[in-house]
Structure 1
Amino acid sequence: MDAFTSVVEAVPTQININPNESGLPGIRALRRIVGAVMTIGLVLSVLALIISAIVWGFGSNSSNPHLAGRGKTGVLISCGAAIITGASVTLINFFWDVGQGI
C-alpha cells in the first residue's frame, strides 16, 4: 500500500496544458497551409455564388422553377460556406474557450 500511496501523491492534482507553437517542427508551415486553404475556400465560394446566380437567372427567365430553385439553393449554400470559412478561426477559438471553462 505504501507504493500506491506514493504514486498517488506524485500525480499533480491540477494540470495546466496550453497550445505550444514551438513544440513540433512545421507548425509555421501548417499555419500557412491552413491560411491558403481558407483563401481557396473563399474564392470557390465566390465562384459558386456567381454560377448559382447565373443558374437562378436562367431559371427565372426561362420559366423553369426547378432550375430557379436550384440557383437559389446554390446562392444560399455558397454564402453559408463563405460565412463558415471566414468565421472558422473565431468559431474554433470560441469553442476552445468554452472547453477551457468546463
Structure 2
Amino acid sequence: MQGAPVIAVPLAERLVHSYLAYDPGISPRDGGLPGLQVLKDIVSSINMYAIIAVVGSLCVSLIVWAWGHHSGGHQTEANGKKGAMVSCGVAIGLGAANGLVVGLTALGELVQ
C-alpha cells in the first residue's frame, strides 16, 4: 500500500499553528466608553494626592531622622532613614507610573 508520505510534526508546532496563532484584533482605543475622561481625572487626582502625602511623609521622616541623630536614638535615626528612602522610592514610582505603563504596553505589543 503506497500512499502519501506521513510527515511527523512536533506537538508544540501543531499547537502554535492551530491554537496560538489566532489574533483577536483587540487594541486599546481612546474614547470607547462613556466616562473615560472622568476616570482619567479621578486617577490623576489620586496620583496628585499620593504625591502630596509622600511629601508629607518625607518631611516627617527627615524630622525623625534628625531628632534620632541629635538625641542619640539610633533606632529612631534608622527608622527616619528608612522612611526617607521609602518616601523617595514611592515618589519615583508615582512620577514614573504613566511612563512605565506606556513603555510596558509598547513592549507587550511587540510580543507575537
Q: Which has the larger radius of gyration?
A: 2
Q: Which runs of 4+ in 1 moved over 6 A?
A: none
In the comparison of the two structures, how many residue pairs are matched?
90
- Residue correspondence of structure 1 range 9-48 to structure 2 within 5 A: 14-48=23-57
SS state of the match for residue 49, structure 2?
helix
Shift of 1:18: 2.1
Q: Which amino acid aligns with 1:85?
A: L
Unaligned runs of 5+ in 1: 1-12
Alignment TM-score, normalising by the size of structure 1: 0.83
Alignment TM-score, normalising by the size of structure 2: 0.76
Separation in structure 2 between the aligned mates of residue 61 and residue 50 of structure 1, nearest angstrom: 17
- Residue correspondence of structure 1 range 1-102 to structure 2 within 5 A: 14-102=23-111
The share of aligned pairs that are identical, in percent, is 32
Q: Which amino acid aligns with 2:67?
A: F
Shift of 1:14: 4.3
Separation in structure 2 between the aligned mates of residue 58 and residue 69 of structure 1, nearest angstrom: 11
Shift of 1:15: 4.0
1:61-95 CA distance string (max 9 Å, x none): 10000000000000000000000000000000111
Which structure shows the higher helix fraction? 1
Alignment RMSD = 1.1
Unaligned runs of 5+ in 2: 1-21
Which protein, 1 or 2, shows the higher relative CO under an 8 Å CA cutoff with sep ≥ 6? 1
SS state of the match for residue 109, structure 2?
helix
